[in-house]
Chains A and B, each alone.
Chain A
């Protein structure tokens, strides 16, 4: 029963990971930019929820759309002013640029909000429900449900809507997409905005589960890389499965060994997949 408990809590966490990693994967797919600042976008989302809750008493669930919209705007601005300039440049330019942004945002957050750990203690979501003998953490279940909803909505948007199809076309082949009349520049703006909003929502959800700090982004970006590589770069479904797998294996590793080694799981998975099957579980070989 204990193991089931552990697996369940890992799966629930995996849902939130999926939302975070899906945004990163989408940005990479569309513009071949590895956004090293993605974790900091998540951190900003988490802090928006935290401050709205602690300063204005806003219900954390209601603050989620607010943080999503705020980061959507920030994401579009970042893409418009900075990231657009390194698209189609050597890989190193975009890596360095986004790393610089990440350091910049983290530095600003450290100065404004100190490195103290904060948490959102919202009473309706503390404690757990008893489901068939398993204790299900309320905050994790709600976070999982919301993450699932948002990821599913994004997936539908990409699958069904015209603009979603434009995004997928650009990610398959940017030049051909352009020839077919797709404004790839606008697609890139929308993608970075959307990816940032997804990061923000996952940040808001993480704020309800864990403690947050300005340095939290660095921890999650490593996991996101592992998930994306595991699922296959550019594969939406792969990201989701990869996230659930990573969430579960992390909590299992923490249960059987110790929390320190659990941290190694993400990196070990990442390296192993890259060495054995670089295209991931669902990816196409490049």
Chain B
């Protein structure tokens, strides 16, 4: 999708970052991951098995 508005990031407590309006998310290694959804959940716990995207793993990590 193409958007021209600003990128908006919403922090979900003990959860991922919801990102709206981005075209690409760049990971630690510099790899570019194209955004293919109207809103994406970017992993914030670092434990996801499909980084940079959230896969719900944060829910099974002891707080």
Note whether A and B form a binding pair.
no
Chain A positions within 8 Å of B, measured between CB atoms, are none
